């Protein structure tokens, strides 16, 4: 018998998927049903004081089993990169072994959908989660983004040109997170915090921005992660972190390489859930007391086809009309027209893009709240552009700079960044560690 989520979860997913943009796309629900609201709820449970510009905490729909966090309590926020709502439902459907079914049956009643942010991409989503604000407020709005201060498009995870260069090539040696981030992280607001993530990320500009104010703890593997997790939670209550942020990236990685295949995704989700349940079970009942888990994702994925990939660098007319190359995402590209040529650009795209693509005016999407309710970053208009091109099913838009050595870059079968429900909706598991421990295989 297939394990399924409840009717209330399905109705919630249906509501979050209702079209709001371009007549067919949903958008983030920053009023208590989005990824940054999870961060704010965790922060509040840790005793943090809510203040502008923080978004509100999660709605009461998501609060079942969420106890008030007194002194000595810990909230674990585990970000499983690529943990889309579709992937979670697939995990439930393909659960076959007794261990998988135990996990599926235990988590299905404790899991609801929420929206990620837009763009539905890692850099925008993770910073929104850690800062408790929307992308329009913190200003990171894409995997690649135009930064006026550099006069260049940069990869927002590496802070280097998107076509190459070493990590943090654009960041000076004396760089401070406040140089780029206009709002403080939740960790720098007076709450004892630890960030548990891959050792290789230590010291990078993105890591420093993302976890500013938290103590960094690095791990090498999933077993090493669970070792550190149990060690941190085994400290006396007055010494353990109030906020414990954990990041795991391989679900997204295997989806990019293989496509969002449910069987592969289910196996990876199973590995992570087994590790978490085992870690919880190894803790003493006293250590588990007051510990609550939020397990969620930054985006889902959709399958993309090489035959539907459009190469911007092969469209001479497009390049003539653009002030700079496309930025943002392959599934959601920001396009900046040369001065006075916005309507020419719109006309060209309308006549050349397939009918299942959607072209939106960026200014109108800002007014409609796609990037959040504000306050908005003062450079948002410059960092985005004039038009937003949302790719149709299976499609993408990419750009290869002049002089690139290879004729084509490696094609990833799974992608995200857009506004389809598969990309935008993510799963949110919420339960005390005491219940998590009961799911140990």
> What's the mean pLDDT in 62-75?
83
Judged against a pLDDT cut of 70, whether residue 352 lies above it is answered with yes
The pLDDT score that the predictor gives to residue 289 is 93
Which pLDDT tens digit goes with each residue over 258-309? 999 989 999 999 999 999 999 999 999 999 999 999 999 999 999 999 999 9
Average pLDDT over residues 336-348: 98
DSSP-assigned beta bridge partners for residue 34:
115
Q: Measure the CA–CA gap between 396 and 333, rounded to whole angstroms.
A: 9
Residue 105 in this model has a pLDDT that exceeds 90? yes
pLDDT at 164: 80
Give the pLDDT of residue 373: 97
**Domains contained in the chain, CATH given:** 7-137+160-302+422-437 (3.40.720.10), 306-419 (3.30.1360.180)
Mean pLDDT along residues 110-134:
98
Given a cut of 60, whether residue 153 has pLDDT beyond it is yes
% of the chain exceeding 90 in pLDDT:
89
* Mean pLDDT across 112-119: 98
Query: 63: pLDDT confidence band, cut at 50, 70 and 90?
Result: confident
Average pLDDT score over the chain: 95
Q: Is it the case that residue 2 has pLDDT exceeding 60?
A: yes
Q: So what's the pLDDT on residue 24?
A: 94
pLDDT at 408 over 70: no
Task: Check whether 433 has a pLDDT greater than 90.
Answer: yes
Percent of the chain beyond pLDDT 70? Answer: 99
Kindly indicate the confidence band of residue 410, based on its pLDDT and cuts at 50, 70 and 90.
low
Cα 285 to Cα 187: distance, rounded to the nearest angstrom: 27
pLDDT at 76: 98
pLDDT of 387-397, one tens digit each? 999 999 999 99
Over 90: is that where the pLDDT of 242 sits? Answer: yes
Least confident of 6-10, 337-341, 409-413, 429-433: 409-413
């Amino acid at each position: 018998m297939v394990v399924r989520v409840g009717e209330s979860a399905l109705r919630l997913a249906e509501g979050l998927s209702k079209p709001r943009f371009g007549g067919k796309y949903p958008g983030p629900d920053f009023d208590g049903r989005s990824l940054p609201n999870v961060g704010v709820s965790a922060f509040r449970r840790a005793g943090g004081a809510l203040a502008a510009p923080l978004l509100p905490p999660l709605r009461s729909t998501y609060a079942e089993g969420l106890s008030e966090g007194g002194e000595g309590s810990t909230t674990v926020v585990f970000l499983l990169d690529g943990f889309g709502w579709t992937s979670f439902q697939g995990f439930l459907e393909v659960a076959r072994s007794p261990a998988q079914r135990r996990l599926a049956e235990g988590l299905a009643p404790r899991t609801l959908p929420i929206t990620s942010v837009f763009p539905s991409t890692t850099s925008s989503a993770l910073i929104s989660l850690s800062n408790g604000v929307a992308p329009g407020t913190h200003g990171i709005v894409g995997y690649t983004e135009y930064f006026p201060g550099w006069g260049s498009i940069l990869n927002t995870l590496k802070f280097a040109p998107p076509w190459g260069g070493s990590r943090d090539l654009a960041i000076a040696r004396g760089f401070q997170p406040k140089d780029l981030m206009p709002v403080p992280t939740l960790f720098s607001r007076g709450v004892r915090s630890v960030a548990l993530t891959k050792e290789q990320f230590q010291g990078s500009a993105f890591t420093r921005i993302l976890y500013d104010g938290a103590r960094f703890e690095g791990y090498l593997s999933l077993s090493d992660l669970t070792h550190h997790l149990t060690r941190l939670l085994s400290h006396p209550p007055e010494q353990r972190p109030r906020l414990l942020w954990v990041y795991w990236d391989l679900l997204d990685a295997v989806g990019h390489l293989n496509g969002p295949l449910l069987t592969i995704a289910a196996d990876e989700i199973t590995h992570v859930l087994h590790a978490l349940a085992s870690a919880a079970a190894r803790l003493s009942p006293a250590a588990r007391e007051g510990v609550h888990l939020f397990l969620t994702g930054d985006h889902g994925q959709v399958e993309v086809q090489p035959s539907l990939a459009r190469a911007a660098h092969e469209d001479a007319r497009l390049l003539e009309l653009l002030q700079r190359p496309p930025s943002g995402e392959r599934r959601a590209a920001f396009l900046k027209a040369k001065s006075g040529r916005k309507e020419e650009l719109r006309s060209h795209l309308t006549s050349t893009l397939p009918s299942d693509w959607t072209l939106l005016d960026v200014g109108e999407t800002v007014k409609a709240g796609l990037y959040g309710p504000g306050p908005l970053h003062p450079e948002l208009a410059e960092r985005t552009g004039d038009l937003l091109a949302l790719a149709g099913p299976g499609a993408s838009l990419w750009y290869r700079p002049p002089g690139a050595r290879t004729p084509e870059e490696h094609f990833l079968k799974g992608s995200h960044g857009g506004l389809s429900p598969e990309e935008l909706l993510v799963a949110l598991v919420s339960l005390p560690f005491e219940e998590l421990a009961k799911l140990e295989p």
